[in-house]
Chains A and B, each alone.
Chain A
């Protein structure tokens, strides 16, 4: 059971890191951004490529992946999403889904469609907890998620940029009335969220196989996190990600095929008892 819980927390940590960008983008810009999954996918492919061809150093490759993701996401924000601010949410869904589809085809063109593995960067090192061997890498992923959470807490609670974003999430017009160009700050948040999506791809790459459609699967899970956590809620996403990660792991332990389905059962229950306010 300890290994199941550790696996659940690992999945939860990765879901949190990826979904934080989605919840911020929705909370600040009221944009549902499917292209987020493309950034995640690119992150995984870049880390694999750099470790295989440039330098077999996972940390370096991860930093390169995040560095590649930021300008990519800026281009998506600048030329697609920025034109959709204030428009119907349907346009954003269609446009960003189109970006995702085109992007996946570009990924297939560059790397092919065959799933590819990435070996454990810690060479299978493990720790023993309660008599159970746990992969050290997964413990590391949980730790990274906690560090990201702490860093975001400091950013949003202690820095003026973070406070402007928190205020903008609550009442954008009131922030504008103070002379603050809030959209500029939302762009910064979008790039932070995208960098985290790439980091999620980097961290998940050694656990799963890397393939062009990997973003679609994780996207649905991340939307469940965002909905359960409360759209635009940073702390809510943190709690929801770990809860849903544990739901996946515990369900999978007893009935494998239902593992991810149970996530959406939880999501449906949350929506029934706590509907999203229009």
Chain B
């Protein structure tokens, strides 16, 4: 397994929000987490990415224990985190956003731009524009493109289709589909249509626990199998 989370407890001060959470992501596997708001999904991703330290349990990445390792060190190990808020660096141009994403990777700025254009060619017309002027969908596609620079091994993506128009959701779906099988992904998502069409496995989260793992498509394709957790 590329990522193994075991019996993870995480708290905000005295408030414990994750209770003994365990999950795993294999090489080039696309794993989804579904659950209601407040279930602890974002906390789980942030802890895995190194933005929060667990109070108990373990996180192993590529066979190496790394619970509590800072986010910048986790990124250097090949983990990329795409935040839920779709915030780009609005004062910088799109090209500068891309170059910044490549700064700590082996990719050259030119290769980085090519990578983003490969997954979303229409970004070419915005390269010299301030990223703050992009629409929500364009920002998400830029962030996904930036996350793929430098051949990361694991993407942690928080609600990639949240708040997007139907047409843009289709574009995000295409991007995710195009990289499926080439990189490991752990994705928080509430759009169950997207989940059903892309997932290899699904974890359901509820109140800081993982009550169920759907190990195969046949399990999560059943009517209402996932809906009961939203």
Given known contacts A176-B75, A177-B75, A181-B72, A163 and B83 CB-to-CB distance under 8 angstroms: no
Q: Say yes or no: A176 contacts B89, CB within 8 Å.
A: no
A160-B97 Cα distance, complex, nearest whole Å? 11
B76 touches A179 (CB 8 A): yes
Task: Give the number of chain B interface residues (Cβ < 8 Å).
Answer: 23
**Using Cβ atoms and an 8 Å threshold, which residues of chain A touch B51?**
173, 176-177
| A166 contacts chain B at the CB level, 8 A cutoff | yes
Interface string of A162-190 (1 = CB under 8 A from B): 01101100110111111111100000000
CB atoms of A180 and B103 under 8 A apart: yes
Contact at B100–A179, with CB atoms within 8 Å? Answer: no
Contacts A166-B89, A166-B92, A170-B89 given; indicate if A177 touches B83 (C-beta within 8 A).
yes
- CB pair B90–A170 under 8 Å, yes or no, is yes
| CB atoms of B104 and A164 under 8 A apart | no
Interface of A is mostly: helix
B220 at the interface (CB under 8 A from A): no
Residue numbers in B under 8 Å from A163 (CB-CB): 92, 96, 99-100
Query: Is A174's CB under 8 angstroms from B87's CB?
Result: yes
Q: Known: A163-B92, A166-B92, A173-B71. Is A178-B87 also a contact (CB below 8 A)?
A: no
Interface presence of B57 (CB below 8 A): no
| 8 Å CB contact of A166 from B72, B75, B91, B104 | B91
Question: A12-38 CB contact bits vs B (8 Å, 1 = yes)?
Answer: 000000000000000000000000000
Tell me the complex Cα distance, A163–B99, Å: 10
Question: Which chain A positions have C-beta within 8 A of B83?
Answer: 173-174, 177
> With A and B bound together, what is the CA distance between A175 and B89 in angstroms?
9
Residues of A within 8 A of B99 (CB): 160, 163
Contact indicator per residue, chain B 19-60, by CB within 8 Å of chain A (1) or not (0): 000000000000000000000000000000101000000000
Q: Any chain A CB within 8 A of the CB of B70? A: yes
**Min CB gap A65→B, angstroms:** 32
Question: Are B91 and A177 touching (Cβ within 8 A)?
Answer: no
Q: When the two chains form their complex, are residues B75 and A178 in contact, meaning their CB atoms are under 8 A apart?
A: yes
A179 to B103, alpha carbons, bound, how many Å?
9
Q: Which residues of B contact A175 (CB under 8 A)?
A: 100
Which residues of B143-182 are within 8 A (CB) of A? none
Assembled-state Cα–Cα distance A137/B89 (Å): 40
| A residues near B76, Cβ cutoff 8 Å | 179
Which B residues are CB-close (under 8 A) to A170?
Answer: 87, 89-91
Partner of B72, one of A160, A167, A171, A176: A176
Query: For the complex, what is the distance from the CA of A176 to the CA of B72, rounded to whole Å?
Result: 5
Contacts of B89 in A (CB 8 A): 166-167, 170-171, 174
- Min Cβ gap A233→B in Å is 10
What's the nearest-Cβ distance from chain A to residue B224, in Å? Answer: 36
CB-CB under 8 A from B91, the residues of chain A are 166-167, 170
B92 adjacent to A178 (CB under 8 Å): no
Chain B residue, CB-CB nearest to A164: B100
Q: Which residue of B lies closest to A167 (CB)?
A: B89
Inter-chain contacts of B92 with A (CB < 8 A)? 163, 166-167
Q: Bound complex: CA of A180 vs CA of B51, how far in Å?
A: 13
Task: Encode contact with A along B78-121: 1 for CB under 8 Å, 0 otherwise.
Answer: 00110100010111100010011101110000000000000000
Residues of B within 8 A of A166 (CB): 89, 91-92
Check if B100 sits within 8 Å of A177, measured CB to CB. Answer: no
Interface string of A138-181 (1 = CB under 8 A from B): 00000000000000000000001001101100110111111111
In angstroms, Cα B158 to Cα A173, docked, is: 14
- Nearest CB in chain B: distance from A210 CB, A: 38
Beyond A160-B99, A176-B71, 4 extra complex contacts between A and B, CB < 8 Å: A176-B75, A177-B49, A178-B103, A180-B100
Q: Give 15 CB contacts A-B under 8 Å.
A: A163-B96, A167-B92, A170-B89, A170-B91, A171-B87, A171-B89, A173-B71, A177-B83, A178-B100, A179-B72, A179-B75, A179-B76, A179-B104, A181-B72, A182-B72
| Pairs A-B, 7 closest by C-beta atoms | A179-B75, A179-B104, A167-B89, A179-B76, A176-B71, A177-B81, A176-B72
